[in-house]
Amino acid sequence: METKSGYSYSITTLSAWIRVTGEDSAHFLQGQFSNDLKDGFKKCINNWYLYGLWLDHKGKIIADSTLVKTDVSHQFWIHSNDCLAADICARLEGFIIADDVSLSNETEQWASLVLFGSNIRKLLKESNLKDIYIFNGRRGTEESYEVIYPRSEEAKVLEIIKDFDRLTSKDLEILRIKAGIPRIPQDGGNTDLPQEIGLGLDTISFTKGCYVGQEVMARLNSRGRTRRKLCRVKGDGVPPSLPCAVFDLDAKVGELKSVVAYASGYLGLALLSVAALEKASEFSLEAHTTPKLKID
């Protein structure tokens, strides 16, 4: 992605920023999160981060999150770009019984943006912002950084990025879809398994032991095959409205989950039957019509 300044940004919507505290917080989260808190965290400036999922007992996706921790004892942050804080809190509170764990939804007091550029880490480290959290984003093939900051620091943040090139939400969507990165819950939700939408090795631990949904994940890992697959697709003309069924002749074989206008047509992500993908690479959006959707 070429820019005049070498840096670019987009103001993003922060859907969840939840503080987790209490002496049992690490143990509790380890038993709920799909990834391994013990050895999975990665360092970014002054905090550590770990991406993963919250699953139900059937292994279906409830929400995705990035866990963020600092040197503050017994404290974590739960971040999500698109899943609501209220839904994540409701999922976790149902499992807090005798644990010393407290959840505080602080989403409204914080803001977020995503940055692209080769020297972002250094730039932010030298910015003297208070209580800033930064970690690698899941925005495309190029390196990106999610930046979470208190609204009280917003003027300082805007001063830092004043000469950066601004990306629109459509720009971000094109980057994401081109990279085949699923958005939760748009591309995968409570009827879908992580492996069906391409979330596997980097989001799920198969070695850490018991957590909600672990047994189903273990069976899928040993079986090594799912019935559906999230695929990049492209089409001509005006992007269809979602939700949109996908057909092979008269048989419904999946659904178009994400779509964005691009060039003279559109790009998208579709969750399709593996059996259908083994037979065809072009599909239609209505039964018995000319195929308009191609696997990209």
In terms of domains, do 119 and 175 share one? yes
In terms of domains, do 262 and 159 share one? no
According to DSSP, residue 261 is labeled E
In terms of domains, do 80 and 154 share one? yes
Of 110, 144, 179, the one marking the end of a domain is 179
In terms of domains, do 106 and 170 share one? yes
pLDDT digits (tens, 9 = 90+) for 151-210: 999 998 999 899 999 999 999 999 999 999 999 999 999 999 999 999 987 899 988 889
Amino acid letter for position 7: Y
In terms of domains, do 30 and 161 share one? yes
Q: Confidence class of residue 123 from pLDDT cuts 50, 70 and 90?
A: confident
In terms of domains, do 30 and 166 share one? yes
**78: nearest Cα among 102, 43, 46:** 102
Question: Which ranges of the chain would DSSP assign to H, the alpha helix?
Answer: 25-30, 85-93, 120-125, 154-160, 169-179, 214-223, 274-277
* 189 assigned to some structural domain: no
Residue 167 tokens, joined: 């990306």
CA distances from 285 to 166, 255, 271, 296 (A): 34, 9, 13, 16
Find all residues with CB under 8 Å of 285, minimum gap 6, and list them. 235, 240, 244, 245, 246, 247, 256, 292, 293
Q: Confidence class of residue 131 from pLDDT cuts 50, 70 and 90?
A: confident
The per-residue pLDDT for 3 is 54
The per-residue pLDDT for 45 is 84
Of 179, 205, 239, the one marking the end of a domain is 179
* 205 assigned to some structural domain: no
Number of domains in the chain: 2
Instruction: Tell me: pLDDT of 36 over 90.
Output: yes
Q: Say how far apart CA 244 and CA 10 lie, in whole Å.
A: 28
pLDDT digits (tens, 9 = 90+) for 205-240: 988 889 999 999 999 888 778 999 999 999 999 999
Amino acid letter for position 241: S
Instruction: Tell me: pLDDT of 121 over 90.
Output: no
Instruction: Tell me: pLDDT of 1 over 70.
Output: no
* 209 assigned to some structural domain: no
Q: What are phi and psi of 106, to 5 degrees?
A: -115, 20
Find all residues with CB under 8 Å of 228, minimum gap 6, and list them. 192, 196, 254, 271, 272, 273, 274
Q: Say how far apart CA 57 and CA 7 lie, in whole Å.
A: 43
Residue 133 tokens, joined: 């959290």
Q: Confidence class of residue 21 from pLDDT cuts 50, 70 and 90?
A: very high
pLDDT digits (tens, 9 = 90+) for 71-117: 999 999 999 999 999 999 999 999 999 999 999 999 999 999 999 98
In terms of domains, do 123 and 242 share one? no
The per-residue pLDDT for 202 is 87
Whichever domain contains 151, its CATH number is: 3.30.1360.120
Residue 145 tokens, joined: 């950084």
In terms of domains, do 275 and 168 share one? no
End-to-end CA distance of the chain: 20
Q: Say how far apart CA 259 and CA 132 lie, in whole Å.
A: 33
The per-residue pLDDT for 129 is 78
**294: nearest Cα among 255, 236, 212, 244:** 236
The per-residue pLDDT for 73 is 95
Instruction: Tell me: pLDDT of 127 over 90.
Output: no
In terms of domains, do 120 and 46 share one? yes
* 194 assigned to some structural domain: no
Is the alpha carbon torsion for 111, 10, 244, 180 positive or negative?
negative
What's the rounded mean pLDDT across residues 275-289?
A: 94
What's the rounded mean pLDDT across residues 38-52?
A: 93
Instruction: Tell me: pLDDT of 5 over 80.
Output: no
Amino acid letter for position 293: L
Q: Confidence class of residue 4 from pLDDT cuts 50, 70 and 90?
A: low
* 186 assigned to some structural domain: no
In terms of domains, do 237 and 160 share one? no
Average pLDDT over the chain reads 93
In terms of domains, do 57 and 131 share one? yes
In terms of domains, do 171 and 240 share one? no
Whichever domain contains 285, its CATH number is: 2.40.30.110
Spatial contact of 186 and 197, defined as CB atoms under 8 Å apart: no
* 44 assigned to some structural domain: yes
Q: Give me the percent of the chain exceeding a pLDDT of 90.
A: 81
Residue 259: domain span:
227-296
* 97 assigned to some structural domain: yes
Q: pTM score, two decimals?
A: 0.94
* 65 assigned to some structural domain: yes
